[in-house]
Structure 1
Amino acid sequence: MEKEWEEWKPVVYPALESKVKEFESLGYKNIHINEIWEMSIRQMKKHQDAPALHTIVQTILHMKAHDYMQQKTIESYKRIEEKKNYDDALEDILAQVSGNVAEKVD
């Protein structure tokens, strides 16, 4: 199924480019076509199984800068939480390996 979605990417590439240029004209820098594409796919997969060209283009062109930034913020918070969980787990492992049973300091 994933291949079906990816087959549309070259076809809708001009819409993706247009959306990136639109966001850049609004002052948002470092926007990548792949990010717009991935966000569009995630949104469409919530509502349908098979892609349709008009739906893909409509989803891309109707994406708002606010929605894009909100998604990037959520992803950022998730990465911070994953790193925190990773750091806590690493600290526990190091304490066990070193034989140190000291309590963690928060």
Structure 2
Amino acid sequence: METLRTVHEWKQKVLPALESKASEFRLMGYDKTTREDVWSCLNEKVWKGDPSKRLFEIVQDIFQLSSNVYMSYLTINAHQDDNLMASIAALTDNSAGEAD
């Protein structure tokens, strides 16, 4: 029987599957997709934490990751980045005003 391990513990074993999925997404037009992007998406959208799974379950999750889920992940991250940049800009503008 295959052992259960946390998702994080399986990462090195599934790098080829992650790269394959990243390559698939690049072919679909997501040109900057990396295996780290796929891993992060799975952690945030599919696994939500660090659950214990068997190797075949991790590989199955990777290959079943849909472009819709990945696009949702990218969109949310883009909005978070925009909000962060807006917050930084507001703080920078506010700090500049206080210095006068």
**TM-score per shorter chain, which class?**
0.7 to 0.9
State the partner residue of 1:74.
76
> 1:97 is matched with which residue?
99
Q: Unpaired segments of 5 or more residues in structure 1?
A: 99-106
| Structure 1 residue aligned with 2:47 | 44
Normalising by the residue count of structure 2, what TM-score does the alignment of the two structures yield? Answer: 0.78
- Residues 25, 33 of structure 2: 8 Å contact kept: yes
- Cα distance between partner residues in 1 of 2:30 and 2:91: 36
TM-score (norm 1): 0.74
Q: Which structure is larger by alpha-carbon Rg, 1 or 2?
A: 1
Q: Which deviates more, 60-69 or 37-46?
A: 37-46
CA contact (8 A) 2:14 2:59 kept: yes
Structure 2: gaps of 5 or more residues = 1-5
* RMSD of equivalent CA atoms: 1.9
Take 1:19 and 1:49, find their aligned partners in 2: how far apart are those partners? 21
Greater relative CO, 1 or 2 (CA 8 Å, sep 6+)? 2
Match of 2:90 in 1: 88
> How many angstroms apart in 2 are the aligned matches of 1:9 and 1:49?
13
* Count of residue pairs brought into register by the alignment: 94
Alpha-carbon spacing, 1:88–1:27, altered in 2? closer, same or farther (3 Å): closer
Alignment check: 8 A CA contact 2:7 2:51 kept? no
Identical counterparts, % of pairs = 27
